[in-house]
């Protein structure tokens, strides 16, 4: 299945879990189950927006966007983070009100059964989506998968808490659980927003990938060849590396270009999805570049 197909499936599962969790809340009157249902509503909005952004990111480069549309996926992650944060605040308000005015819970058994069914659906989908996200390096799909895992953890916590309410009769546990759920959701929102901003700011590749690039370049380094100013960045599923390759001044342009092609193919073979740009320079000639931390 493609990334878009998984997101379409996520939309369908979100609709199903909203119905199940809303039914659980309607049966029991539990504010913690209401908080769980609200988070699934956010799942639906997030998955729908993620599908739109993945579709946009897959479009080829055009005159207005010569480097492609890969960064569109970061908007999806940021949008989902904002939605999760809003849901967390709404849950906090409802939970505090219920804490001040506790209410009895009804039909907990059927309500918990519906919640567990929705949790199983979300858990299976989240596991499959996270594997696909790592395979395709899709932050939109990863963000949706991690949100679903948060939803699963939330639902499990709610079920455990409501079982405790059932056994002890302590009604105050229900809003306290809802507050804990809201704080956990808020933490996930901050994490998603941070990742989105980091991607839009052209963050460097992961240390492991940078090390792989350095190892590949080391295989070509000798007295006549030198590499420097190696800079990496990522944009959605695409990875980029720019560097300078210094060669003897008496080499022909054809010979230099041939070696550059070999190095570029080696780099792209070592790091999937990498686009390498190599500038050729004679040995002893340094390029003028903006140094990190230097004046603008």
| The two three-digit tokens of residue 3, written as one number | 């990334």
CA dihedral 27→7→180→107, nearest 10 degrees, is 10
Q: pLDDT below 70 — which residues of the chain? A: 1, 3, 39, 105-106, 137, 139-140, 236-237, 288-296
pLDDT score recorded for residue 140: 67
pTM for the full model? 0.57
pLDDT of residue 296: 40
Residue 93: CB atoms within 10 A of its CB come to: 10
Residues 6+ apart with CB under 8 A from 76: 46, 49, 50, 52, 53, 54, 139, 140, 143, 144
**Interatomic CA distance for residues 7 and 55, integer angstroms:** 10
Host H or E run for residue 250: none
Runs of H (alpha helix) within the chain: 3-28, 31-57, 72-100, 108-136, 139-168, 173-200, 207-218, 253-270
- Total residue count of the chain as it appears in this document: 296
What is the spatial distance between Cα 134 and Cα 211, in angstroms, rounded to a whole number? 19
In order of their start, the domains of the chain are 3-200 (1.20.1510.10), 207-282 (3.30.70.1350)
- pLDDT value at position 294? 45
């Amino acid at each position: 299945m493609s990334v878009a197909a998984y997101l379409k499936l996520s939309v369908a599962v979100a609709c199903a879990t909203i119905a199940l969790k809303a039914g659980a809340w309607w049966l029991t009157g539990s504010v913690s189950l209401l908080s769980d249902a609200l988070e699934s509503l956010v799942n639906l909005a997030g998955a729908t927006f993620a599908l739109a952004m993945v579709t946009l990111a897959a479009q080829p480069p055009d005159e207005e966007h010569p480097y492609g549309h890969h960064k569109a996926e970061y908007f999806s992650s940021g949008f989902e983070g904002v939605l999760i944060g809003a849901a967390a605040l709404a849950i906090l308000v409802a939970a505090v009100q219920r804490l001040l005015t506790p209410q009895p819970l009804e039909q907990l058994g059927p309500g918990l059964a519906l919640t567990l069914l929705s949790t199983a659906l979300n858990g299976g989908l989240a596991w499959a989506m996270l594997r696909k996200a790592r395979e395709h390096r899709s932050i939109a799909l990863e963000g949706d998968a991690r949100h679903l895992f948060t939803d699963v953890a939330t639902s499990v916590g709610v079920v455990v808490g409501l079982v405790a309410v059932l056994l002890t009769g302590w009604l105050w546990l229900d809003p306290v659980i809802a507050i804990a759920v809201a704080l956990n959701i808020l933490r996930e929102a901050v994490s998603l927003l941070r990742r989105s901003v980091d991607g839009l700011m052209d963050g460097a590749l992961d240390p492991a990938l940078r090390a792989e690039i350095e190892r590949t370049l080391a295989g070509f380094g000798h007295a006549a060849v030198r590499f420097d100013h190696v800079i990496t960045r990522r944009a959605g599923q695409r990875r980029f590396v720019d560097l300078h390759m210094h060669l003897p001044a008496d080499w022909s342009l054809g010979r230099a270009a041939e070696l550059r092609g070999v190095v570029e193919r080696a780099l792209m073979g070592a790091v999937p999805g990498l686009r390498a740009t190599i500038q050729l320079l004679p040995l002893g000639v340094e390029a003028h570049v903006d140094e990190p931390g230097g004046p603008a």
